[in-house]
Amino acid sequence: MPLSAWHGWGGLTEPIVEHESEGLDMARPRRLNRAGLKRLGRRCLTAAIVLAAIPVVLTFLYLPSFVHPISTLMLKDLATFSGYDRRWVSIDDVAPVLAHSVIMSEDGQFCFHRGVDLGELRGVVDDALAGEATRGASTITMQTVKNLFLWSRPLGSVRKVVELPLAIYFDAVMSKRRIMEIYLNIAEWGPGIYGIEAAAQHHFGVSAKQLSRRQAALLAVSLPNPIARNPAKPGPGLRRLASLIERRAGRSGAYVGCLD
């Protein structure tokens, strides 16, 4: 210990309480670390609130029909300079049979649920608890909010937790007709092909309004996997599925009444 730390003659006295100050110095970093953690926690909470507010605010901004939203996949294509083809079209300029086919293929209860199909969701939970393969329970509204605000991978399970309340909120604010219009204009129908107008032109060389029942059914059944399923060159399985959806769309009746 340095001589300055001793008092008295000949160094016979006890050392002064310099050790206490050393202890205080050691405690100071701990206090600073706690303060730093609190600041970090506040910043994370602020960031979470801001991120949660974005889709809430954007939903209201997307209410007017003259607003043409883009999807997160389109943003990704822009960020990577990949480019994409999307031509916004009013739902009035889409063949009704296309929307009917999409409902019968993707979400038969679209006109009746409130963003989430609780019956389908319960079925998925029951299958999972029983150790069986789960079926899809994603509604058109859920797909729309996912395409607009969320991501596909990674953290898919976290995305689902966020997707459910967002879909309920989106359905409460938007009309079914507007939800369908947005969905049909941001859905992916092939690499870099977004929206029904670009899809109709790319795959069949016609406008969305000129789609036949068969073409509409083929486009609808390609939605679950638009990269692997080519509606212009369908395999036997896709053709059979399209025939089924074509028949269902022909007698959809009340299932599509919310689009009138």
The model's confidence at residue 1, banded by pLDDT at 50, 70 and 90, is very low
**Candidate from 106-110, 118-122, 194-198 with smallest mean pLDDT:** 118-122
Greatest distance between any 2 Cα atoms in the chain: 109
pLDDT at 47 (0 to 100):
67
**Six-digit token pair at 110?**
């679209």
Q: Model-level pTM? A: 0.80
Q: Which of 116-120, 151-155, 169-173 has the lowest mean pLDDT?
A: 151-155
Higher pLDDT, 157 or 161: 161
Q: What is the pLDDT of residue 10?
A: 47
Any idea where the domains of the chain sit in the sequence?
Answer: 14-61, 66-259
What is the arithmetic mean of pLDDT over 89-109? 97
Q: What is the CATH number of domain 66-259?
A: 1.10.3810.10
Q: Please give the structure tokens belonging to residue 191.
A: 């690499």
Tokens representing residue 6 in the block: 């001793």
pLDDT tens for each residue of 36-62: 777 777 777 776 677 677 888 999 999
Q: Which residues, 6+ apart, have CB-to-CB distance to 174 below 8 Å?
A: 59, 62, 63, 182
Q: Which of 4-8, 117-121, 179-183, 191-195 has the lowest mean pLDDT?
A: 4-8
For the chain, the average pLDDT equals 84
Tell me how far CA of residue 137 lies from CA of 46, 103, 177, in angstroms. 32, 13, 21
